A and B are shown apart, each in its own frame.
Chain A
Amino acid sequence: MLGNYAVVEGALAAGCDFFAGYPITPANEISERMAERMPRVGGKFLQGEDELCSIYALTGASLAGAKAMTATASAGYNYMQEGIGYAVAAEIPLVIVDVQRCRGENFATQADVMQMRWGASGDHELIVLAPSSVQELFDHTIRAFNLAEKYRTPVVVMSETTIALMREKLVIPEPDAIEIENRKKPDVPPEEFLPFKAGANGVPPLPDFGEGYRILHSLNPHDERGGIAWDPDVFEALYDRIAGKITANYDDIVQTEGYFLDDAEIVLIAYGSENRPSLAAVRRARANGIKAGLLKLITVWPVAEKEIKDVAGQANTVLAVEMNMGKYAGEIERVCCGYCKVARVTKNRGLIHTTDEIYRALEEEAK
């Protein structure tokens, strides 16, 4: 199946019943398939007049009780930053798929990895998942919905031209084999409910519009009752909680996979489709007697600091692999600082690394 289609099937499997998007290549197959599938499963499809309309329609639909998703590509994600910031601050579950592309062209890149995390204004944490295959596009889209619902927050699926426009085998499990998470609803009547008081995991329960709770959802600093409050103590406590619900649940959110790490002296750290040539290069290195390993980042944000530190404490060298001029490498250098040497393996030519290129970097490092 096409990667972009796998995203749609993953979303529908997760219970997505609202999609809004604005045309942009290479994400269009997601919108087109949604336009066909969504009304047939009882959901709503909106082609927004722009990305801003799309992202805010998602927030409105989500507060009305929908599981909402949009899909865009790099430049379109820029426009959505405003709405993502609102969704973080107002704690609205939604899923955004960004199929990264080179400026104006559909060539491969991972150059949005920082704007995924840092584009919205104000202090915040964001959950960003990086699939590396068509199967993972399906799986991670489901997980994105589950995390969004569980933590009342926007979650980003960081796709890439490489996998979005790739056809690969996809196994869709039976519906009852798919784990589905739904947002917690209040268990007290409206008069006793504090809509922004931390519940389990720091997350307040969220009733749907129309259920009688009459909540004020404002971007402005708000107290536990939801009233606009300009008190510095209220402001600090609010954002400690909003950011804290992500950082405090690191173990539930952050995922990585390790390959050949047990005795690895040179470790590649890669995310997204760059894992594909990276793993092939590690296998070739092992065949040639080089003690290489790979740490695959499934969650790119929050940073897998524990797992990266474990690797850094054991390896001589970490090689940060990415398809841009070197962005996430800064995060890896920050975490590895004082533990081991870090070098960068970057490529910013609209093309994914070849196995040869990464292997040569390993070979050079092993000399």
Chain B
Amino acid sequence: MKENPLRKYLRKGSLPHFFCPGCGAAQVLNYFVRAADEIKLDFDKLVAIGGVGCAARIPVYLDAEVLHGVHGRTLPWATGIKLHNPELKVVIFAGDGDAVAIGGNHLIQAARRNLDVTMIVVNNLNFGMTGGQAAPTTPCDLITTTTPYGNREKPFDICKLAITAGATFVSRWNTAKPIRAIKAIKKALRHQGFSLVEMVCQCPTYFGRKALSSGDPVKGLDWIQECSVTAKEARKLPEQEVLKRFVLGDFTEKSDPVFEGSSVY
């Protein structure tokens, strides 16, 4: 059988992957290598970073320089790498926990500095690897293993947070929209400055079974689709309705000087 031409981007011997059947993180890996292939990304100069969690495992499968295994500290790693060698391309794969729970302050600061890295936030709306606990992204009222009576916290809007903090490319798509997702990842990779792509994705094993009462990945994707609106559609909806939806689109794209250090002579 002919080997998939994208297999050359994957680390030898790393498959089969460890994602659950139907997990959206594996789709994001797929979308990334397609985007990287289309823009001919040099994997010798690529540093792919994951923290801890399901999404953090994505870079482990990439045949690149890889950092992995510490929760929430992806951006500090990236900051050190980019400052010392700006020629390297740094791409971060972070779950919502890595990005806006334990690593939230790092995200704000890296966006403020306009650190020249791409961060793909794989938002599965809960802590999947640890057993489906609520995250700062879990929608209101939904059931998780730590919100048995429904989530009483308001979720973060990761994109709004990044834009407010100073990110210069910000985009949100979901795993049900591969073409738009790949396009957004390509734009992010080509962008100079802090680029963030949020990918809302299904977690059949935990979020699906607990919050949606179904471990079927297709039902998870359908639910994400039902909850998603384009930015254009969102403008016609009342504000309270918009807050319950995942608004999809490329929100910000601007050019600002990139971070070169806190003291530059």
- A residues touching B (Cβ–Cβ < 8 Å)? 17-18, 20, 35-36, 38-40, 44-50, 52-66, 68, 82-83, 86, 90, 208-210, 212-220, 225, 227-228
In the complex, residue of chain A having the shortest beta-carbon distance to the beta carbon of B66: A216
- Give 27 pairs: A residue, B residue, CB < 8 Å, sorted on A: A39-B263, A44-B84, A44-B261, A46-B80, A46-B261, A47-B263, A49-B106, A52-B73, A52-B76, A53-B79, A56-B70, A56-B80, A57-B83, A60-B78, A61-B83, A63-B65, A64-B47, A68-B80, A82-B70, A209-B88, A210-B44, A214-B66, A216-B11, A217-B68, A219-B69, A220-B69, A228-B60
Chain B positions within 8 Å of A227 at CB level: 11, 13-14
| Contact A61 to B81, CB < 8 A, known contacts A53-B109, A219-B68 | yes
The proximity string for B residues 249-264 relative to A, scoring 1 for CB distances below 8 Å and 0 otherwise, is 0000000000011111
Q: Are B47 and A46 in contact, with the CB atoms below 8 A?
A: no
Please classify the interface of chain B as helix (H, G, I), strand (E, B), loop, or mixed, using the class held by over half of its residues: mixed
Of A17, A56, A63, the residue contacting B73 (CB under 8 A) is A56
Of A60, A83, A90, A214, the residue contacting B64 (CB under 8 A) is A214
Q: Are B44 and A214 in contact, with the CB atoms below 8 A?
A: yes
| Contact A38 to B263, CB < 8 A, known contacts A56-B76, A82-B70 | yes
CA–CA, A215 and B106, complex, Å: 25
Residue of B65, B105, B108 ringed by the most chain A CB atoms within 10 A: B65
| Contact A64 to B73, CB < 8 A, known contacts A58-B80, A214-B43, A216-B60 | no
B8 in the interface (beta carbon within 8 A): no
Of B14, B66, B69, B83, the residue contacting A46 (CB under 8 A) is B83
Query: Size class of B's contact patch?
Result: 35 or more
B216 in the interface (beta carbon within 8 A): no
| Contact A65 to B69, CB < 8 A, known contacts A56-B76, A59-B80 | no
CA–CA, A35 and B261, complex, Å: 10
Q: Are A210 and B88 in contact, with the CB atoms below 8 A?
A: yes
Residue of A20, A57, A82, A217 ringed by the most chain B CB atoms within 10 A: A57
With A45-B261, A216-B66, A218-B60 given, name 17 new contacts (CB 8 A).
Answer: A20-B80, A39-B261, A44-B84, A47-B262, A48-B76, A49-B109, A52-B76, A56-B80, A57-B77, A57-B83, A60-B67, A90-B69, A210-B44, A210-B85, A220-B68, A220-B69, A227-B11
Q: Are A215 and B263 in contact, with the CB atoms below 8 A?
A: no
Chain B positions within 8 Å of A46 at CB level: 79-80, 83, 261-262
CA–CA, A170 and B127, complex, Å: 54
CA–CA, A52 and B70, complex, Å: 11
